[in-house]
């Protein structure tokens, strides 16, 4: 009997005594949610009526209908940030119904917010947040989930609402779109990727800064090619990358012995070439005016768009990857023939549903908890919505802040790794020693 009592009450009591003040608050909340679940479910409309026959011992006629209320079965677990509730779906109670009831649950449980996601068919996960890990900024230099040197095959994006690392697939990817309002974390997000990959000799960068300011000046030291907001210079850089793509396509079988460079992976002699175009819409905009200067600029915009479109469409198998950063990914900013061919999309805060749908697709409308419109609060600067590797639906990710001095120092220390991929290809194809 003592063992049974200890198993039922002793272990929770020990956990409660050992917990700190915040931990005790979470435990109390978890116990209350579990104890009052059936009543709460009825009040917020998360029950399912089921017709059953009357029990055999009652005198009620067997033909008289009897109904019972079914509430989803839940499992409750206390977490550092709040309470995790795993709920099994019942009848017509699915993801949409739980999402619609999220605000009511938050009020009933007296928590800041309830987030809902589907983790498996028939299993939903509710996060009753007493504190929100997504609002707690992390720095790249002290983020424990990020290495100082990243893997070219995947992008370690940051941490999710549970504090777990989140990755984005980059193997077999030729295009990435990163969109969001100005000042909400796009450039820092790209800087984190730069810091992860800069120490690798199997990666070469092409950096194009449409803002034209000093943001990338120090990073240019680690770039094979670079440009600011000079449209003609950008066009020339894109021509060089396009020429590399054509040369690699012509020589890939002879040099690597495969049709797809990802089958053997990037190497020092065949590096992954990452083309970062910040404020990409700058180079695709056409004025449509009739003066000579406008016509020249429009011609440059059309050619730049064509080159980028071909790099995204044809560069995958030769390990050329284009990353487009823009405030708005609608068709008037980034041509749809470019945007819609990019396999990876990331969105920071957006002001409209149209802008969010443009970058993430129509499915984001079915994920209100992960919708970029909810990220406009300043507490969510650095938080993005994305499709993460190995996860269903959309995931909100706290991306690490990268101080300028950190990125600049890494660029300086790795500047000696810059190589011309075209020269490396020529050396390999002629049998010369690099």
Is the confidence at residue 193, as pLDDT, over 80? yes
53 is known to lie in a ligand binding site: no
Mean pLDDT is lowest, of 246-250, 293-297, 356-360, for: 293-297
Q: Where among 131, 153, 179 does a domain terminate?
A: 131
Over residues 336-366, the pLDDT tens digits come to: 999 999 999 999 999 999 999 999 999 998 8
211 and 82 fall within a common domain: no
The reported pLDDT for the residue numbered 169 is 86
32 and 160 fall within a common domain: no
C-alpha distances in angstroms, 94 versus 48, 87, 101, 254? 11, 10, 11, 54
259 is known to lie in a ligand binding site: no
Q: Where among 102, 131, 160 does a domain terminate?
A: 131
> Distance between CA atoms of 241 and 306, rounded to whole angstroms?
13
Tokens, residue 22: 């915040």
Domain CATH code at residue 43: 3.30.980
181 is known to lie in a ligand binding site: yes
25 and 167 fall within a common domain: no
The reported pLDDT for the residue numbered 54 is 65
186 is known to lie in a ligand binding site: yes
DSSP states of 78-132: EETTEEEEEEE-BTTB-HHHHHHTHHHHHHHHT-SEEEEEEEETTEEEEEEESS-
184 is known to lie in a ligand binding site: yes
105 and 197 fall within a common domain: no
What is this structure's pTM?
Answer: 0.79
212 is known to lie in a ligand binding site: no
180 is known to lie in a ligand binding site: yes
Structural domain range at position 157: 137-429
How many domains is the chain partitioned into structurally?
A: 2
Over residues 24-35, the pLDDT tens digits come to: 888 999 999 999
Tokens, residue 405: 């001095």
Is the confidence at residue 434, as pLDDT, over 50? no
116 and 179 fall within a common domain: no
C-alpha distances in angstroms, 235 versus 127, 194, 217, 286? 48, 23, 19, 14
The reported pLDDT for the residue numbered 63 is 61
Over residues 123-135, the pLDDT tens digits come to: 999 999 888 888 8
144 and 87 fall within a common domain: no
Is the confidence at residue 119, as pLDDT, over 50? yes
16 is known to lie in a ligand binding site: no
């Amino acid at each position: 009997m003592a063992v049974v009592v200890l198993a039922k009450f002793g272990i929770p009591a020990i956990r409660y005594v050992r917990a700190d003040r915040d931990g005790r608050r979470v435990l109390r909340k978890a116990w209350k949610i579990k104890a009052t679940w059936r009543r709460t479910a009825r009040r917020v409309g998360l029950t399912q009526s089921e017709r059953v026959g009357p029990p055999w011992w009652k005198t009620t006629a067997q033909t008289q209908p009897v109904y019972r209320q079914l509430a989803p079965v839940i499992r409750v677990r206390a977490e550092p940030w709040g309470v995790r509730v795993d709920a099994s779906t019942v009848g017509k109670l699915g993801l949409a119904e739980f999402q619609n009831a999220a605000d009511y649950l938050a009020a009933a449980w007296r928590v800041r917010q309830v987030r809902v996601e589907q983790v498996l068919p028939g299993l939903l996960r509710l996060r009753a947040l007493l504190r929100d890990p997504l609002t707690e900024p992390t720095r790249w230099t002290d983020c424990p989930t990020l290495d100082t040197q990243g893997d070219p095959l995947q992008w370690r994006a940051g941490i999710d609402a549970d504090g777990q690392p989140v990755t984005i697939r980059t193997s077999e990817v030729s295009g990435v779109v990163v969109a969001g309002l100005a000042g909400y974390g796009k450039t820092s997000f790209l800087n984190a990727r730069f810091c992860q990959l800069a120490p690798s000799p199997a990666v070469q960068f092409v950096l194009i800064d449409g803002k034209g300011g000093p943001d990338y000046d120090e990073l240019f030291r680690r770039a094979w090619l670079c440009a600011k907001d000079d449209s003609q210079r950008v066009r020339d850089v894109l021509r060089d990358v396009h020429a590399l793509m054509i040369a690699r396509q012509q020589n890939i079988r002879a040099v690597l012995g495969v049709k797809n460079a990802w089958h053997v992976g990037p190497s020092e002699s065949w590096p992954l070439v990452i083309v970062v175009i910040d404020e990409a819409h700058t180079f695709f905009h056409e004025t449509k005016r009739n003066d000579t200067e406008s016509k020249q600029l429009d011609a440059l915009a059309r050619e730049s768009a064509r080159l980028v479109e071909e790099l995204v469409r044809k560069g995958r198998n030769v390990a050329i990857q284009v990353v487009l950063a823009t405030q708005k990914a609608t068709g008037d900013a980034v041509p749809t023939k470019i945007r819609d061919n990019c396999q990876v999309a990331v969105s920071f805060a957006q002001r409209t549903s149209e802008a969010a749908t443009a970058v993430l697709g129509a499915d984001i409308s079915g994920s209100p908890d992960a919708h970029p419109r909810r990220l406009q609060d300043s507490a969510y600067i650095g938080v993005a919505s994305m499709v993460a590797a190995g996860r269903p639906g959309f995931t909100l990710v706290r991306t690490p802040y990268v101080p300028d001095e950190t990125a600049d120092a890494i660029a300086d220390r790795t500047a000696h790794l810059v190589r011309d991929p075209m020269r490396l290809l020529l050396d390999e194809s002629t049998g010369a020693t690099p």
